[in-house]
Amino acid sequence: MVALVALAALAACPAQAAQPAARGFQFGVIGHSFKSGPDESVLKRAIADVTQVAPAFIVATGIKASTEPCSDRLYAQRRALLNDAAAPMIVSLAGSDWSGCVNSIGRSNAIERLNRLRELFYADGESLGERRLPLTRLSASAKFRSYSENAHWEYGKVLFATINLPANNNHFRAEAGRNSEYEDRLVANRAWLHRLFTLAERQKMQGLVLFSDGDVGVQAEQGFSLLPSFQSKQDGFAEPRRQIRAMAEKFKGKVLLVDTQGGAGTEPSIVWRGNVGHLSLAAEWTEVRVAPGSAALFTLKGGAAEATQ
């Protein structure tokens, strides 16, 4: 409870000023470019292509393939590549960046690698890129000082945010004993989502956009599990799914969830159910257009992205 009060106080006075965007704008989203393998050229092309549409910012999910080493050298190489982007670049982590990492004897070193990524990519309150965008990080709260990968920013009366929800069942591990990384991050993400919806409501935002690696299944039928029914393994997305559903129902604006679990070759589109939209990408990039004050707040270039509300 104390943590939520502290986060609400921070939300009342966000660190960054709202960005002016009276006429509407567009932003770019790059899916997990390394899903199909360690081909850095795919990410380079995506950055070059999306830069051509003059985006307000770019969000890229995932910095490496699961088959690539979880090394400081590779992390630094990818940071340099993303930092060279002309537009502000926000990095949203994928599970392959950290949760599947193992050490030289085959044991998981996911927590150590996640902390290293935090040091390299989220050391201050700005995006990467030649033009920097000010960000507010969850790590600004003393209780959650480790969780710098969760960041939010405002643009054109829309609140945007990243949240660390890796696709591999939210990194829930079935081994005996306390599932410490998963459980601690669950608490942090719970407070983060509360903060985001509180801020969006208080600032009368027209929309809230959440970027993650995993698809939490918010639009699925009640009682749905992302795991096959015959498995006894816990659904690692159950709690964030319940929380987002409950808070979205009370929010007067639109909620857009963006993840990277789309099927290869599928044309990107936004599927709406009530005020909640879902955009799931594969390894491609897409341009999302935002029209403040319009019934069709979010649309994709060239796609039938906005269903009748």
pLDDT band at 178; cut points 50, 70, 90: low
pLDDT above 70: residue 69: yes
Domains and CATH numbers, the chain: 25-219+236-300 (3.60.21.10)
- pLDDT band, very low/low/confident/very high, at 303 (cuts 50, 70, 90): very low
The answer, yes or no, to whether residue 21 has pLDDT greater than 50, is no
Name the pLDDT band for 8 (thresholds 50, 70, 90): very low
Average pLDDT, the chain: 88
Q: 122-146: per-residue pLDDT in tens?
A: 999 999 999 999 999 999 999 999 9
11 band by pLDDT with thresholds 50, 70 and 90: very low
Among candidate residues 235, 141, 239, the one with its CA nearest the CA of residue 187: 239
Predicted pLDDT at 2: 42
40-63 pLDDT tens trace? 999 999 999 999 999 999 999 999
State the pLDDT at residue 220.
83
